[in-house]
Amino acid sequence: MKLLFVSTPVGALGSGLGGGVELSLYNIAQEMMRRGHDLQIVAPAGSAWDNLPIVQISGNLQIIAQSLEREAAIAMPENSVLANMWDYVRQVEDEYDLIVNFAYDWLPFYLTPFLKRPVAHFVSMGSLADALDQIIIQISQQFSGTIGFYTAAQAATFPELTPPIYYLSSGIDLSLYQFCSEPKQQLAWLGRISPEKGLEDAFAVAESTTIPLKVMGKIQDESYWQKIQQDYPNAPIEYLGFVSTKEMQRVLRECRALIMTPRWVEAFGNVAIEALACGVPVISYSRGGPASIIQDGETGFLVEPDSIDGLIVATKQLDRINRQTCRDRTQKEFSLEALGERFEKWFVDILNFQP
Ligand code: HBI
């Protein structure tokens, strides 16, 4: 197949501003090329990541959807990179069989009926905005089978979607993650540093247990980051910045556990499978994607949402978890091959369905 991937408009691909969907796009692209498909990626100027074939488009970045109210009207900056990327798609679509949208934005859904080629929409978050819910539902009705999610828990946050709905889960290149059986006395927290990720609760765990916490990820909300540090001045924290997968897993693998503190319905939680791949158990609030990844008591612990005490109790039971089990369980469902199988089937189904 000739595939055209269109990236998120909130940041350059590889910058970390796009959070988990960047890693997803990277992994799916690598796996499609490995399977012999032709692939081109359209992404904001400044995008670069290993050998990915990227057409860079200039323009102003889009505001992140989670910073807006549900009822917010659709907003586009002047010289919008989102609009410019999709104008490029309009110009070149005849050269491709399928367009794949990775943006969590209204425009690509609205433009679908105006384009000649089919568009597969990979929805990367739970429901956040009424206008976006409405257009997603409309496209799921008008273009059967073209809407894909990470998980059923994520899809359930949207009102009545028309089946078939595709749950693609996620996957990582397991060869990049090395198993570690003897961890140090430290915990990890990974992700975009933004209010919906609940980092303050991990600070509270570190302060209460005095177990050092390694924090890695892009600071998306500076004032939020400053406030957490003021609120927990004595927490034993080390912030390591936004680092490459190779660097990140070198620290992560030596941790006793990854702490996940999602305030919202996390669509998936790529960081959870990155930890499990290193043999690191995951302790998470039981909501959204992590609840469908973690096997409670076997590969980590699922805790009552927003209960800091629950997180602390779980850190005290980590010796119950077999780290090899964490790695083994990840091999099957979350390998790149398994991910590629699911996406390739989705894409073929869409092309076969074309009227
Ligand atoms: N916000 N407007 C907008 N568009 C996106 O594509 C987007 C976003 N916020 C977050 C985000 N994408 C990704 O970080 C998550 O989907 C993982």
Nearest ligand 1 atom to alpha carbon 66: 9
Tokens of 133: 């819910």
Q: How far is the C-alpha of 233 from the C-alpha of 231, rounded, in Å?
A: 6
Ramachandran assignment for 166, one of left (phi > 0), alpha (psi -120 to 50 degrees), beta (any other):
beta
Name the residue at shortest CA distance from atom 7 of ligand 1: 104
pTM equals 0.91
pLDDT at position 12: 97
Q: How far apart are CA 332 and CA 330, in angstroms?
A: 6
* Ligand 1 midpoint to CA 65 (Å): 6
Task: State the pLDDT at residue 332.
Answer: 84
Percent of the chain with pLDDT over 70: 100
The answer to whether residue 301 scores a pLDDT higher than 80 is yes
In this predicted structure, the answer to whether residue 354 has a pLDDT above a threshold of 80 is: no
Q: Is the CB of 10 under 6 A from ligand 1?
A: yes
CA of 15 to the centre of ligand 1 (A): 13
Give the mean pLDDT of 106-119: 98
SS (H, E, C) the chain: CEEEEECCCCCCCCCCCCCHHHHHHHHHHHHHHHCCCEEEEEEECCCCCCCCCEEEECCECCCCHHHCCCCCCCCCCCCEHHHHHHHHHHHHHHHCCEEEECCCCHHHHHHHHHCCCCEEEECCCCCCCHHHHHHHHHHHHHCCCCEEECCHHHHCCCCCCCCCCEECCCCECHHHCCCCCCCCCCEEEECCECHHHCHHHHHHHHHHHCCCEEEECCECCHHHHHHHHHHCCCCCEEECCCCCHHHHHHHHCCCCEEEECCCCCCCCCHHHHHHHHCCCCEEEECCCHHHHHCCECCCEEEECCCCHHHHHHHHCCHHHCCHHHHHHHHHHHCEHHHHHHHHHHHHHHHHHHCC
Residue with the nearest Cα to atom 8 of ligand 1? 64
Integer-rounded Cα radius of gyration of the chain? 20
**Nearest-CA residue for atom 16 of ligand 1:** 124
Q: Residue 16's pLDDT band (boundaries 50, 70, 90)?
A: confident
Q: Give the per-residue pLDDT at 353.
A: 87
**If pLDDT is split at 50, 70 and 90, which confidence band does 324 have?**
very high
CA–centroid distance, residue 210 to ligand 1 (Å): 34
pLDDT for residue 135 is more than 80: yes
Q: Phi, psi (5° rounding) for residue 212?
A: -60, 140
Q: What angle do CA 154, 20, 275 make, to 5 degrees?
A: 95
pLDDT band at 248 (very low <50, low <70, confident <90, very high): very high
Q: What is the pLDDT of residue 345?
A: 98
- Nearest residue CA, atom 1 of ligand 1? 64
**pLDDT score for 183:** 98
Q: Which amino acid is at 207?
A: E
- Per-residue pLDDT of 188-225, as tens digits, reads 999 999 999 999 999 999 999 999 999 999 999 999 99
Q: Average pLDDT, stretch 330-350? A: 95
Indicate if the pLDDT at residue 355 is higher than 80: no
> From CA 55, how far away is CA 124, in angstroms rounded?
22
Mutate to test the pocket of ligand 1, among 13, 25, 102, 124 (most ligand atoms within 8 A of CB): 124
pLDDT at residue 283 in the model = 98
pLDDT at 45 over 90: yes
All structural domains of the chain with their residue ranges: 2-171+335-353, 174-333
Q: Is the predicted pLDDT of residue 120 greater than 90, yes or no?
A: yes
Distance of CA 202 from the midpoint of ligand 1 (Å) = 23
Answer whether 190 contacts ligand 1 (Cβ < 6 A).
no
- Residue ID of nearest Cα to ligand 1 atom 13: 18
Task: Establish whether residue 104 lines the binding site of ligand 1, counting it when its CB lies within 6 angstroms of any ligand atom.
Answer: yes
Averaged pLDDT score across all residues of the chain:
96
- Report the separation in Å between the CA atom of 133 and the middle of ligand 1, taken as the mean of its atom positions: 14
pLDDT tens sequence across 310-322 = 999 999 999 999 9
65 Cβ inside 6 Å of ligand 1: yes
What percent of the chain clears pLDDT 90, i.e. is strictly above it?
A: 95
Atom number, ligand 1, closest to the C-alpha of residue 103 = 6
Burial tier of 352 (Cβ tally within 10 Å: 0-12, 13-18, 19+): exposed
Q: What atom of ligand 1 comes closest to residue 125's alpha carbon?
A: 16
Determine the pLDDT at residue 349. Answer: 97
Mean pLDDT of 241-246: 94
Q: Which CATH class, in words, describes the domain spanning 2-171+335-353?
A: alpha beta
CATH class of 174-333: alpha beta
* Ligand 1 atom closest to the CA of 21, numbered from 1: 17
Q: Is the CB of 105 under 6 A from ligand 1?
A: yes
Q: Is the CB of 340 under 6 A from ligand 1?
A: no
Ligand 1, from 6, 7, 21: best to mutate by most atoms within 8 Å of Cβ? 21
Protein residue with its CA nearest to atom 4 in ligand 1? 104
Give ∠ CA 214-296-255 in degrees, rounded to 5. 20
Nearest-10 Cα torsion for 301, 305, 307, 309: -10
Please report the atom of ligand 1 found closest to the CA of residue 24: 17
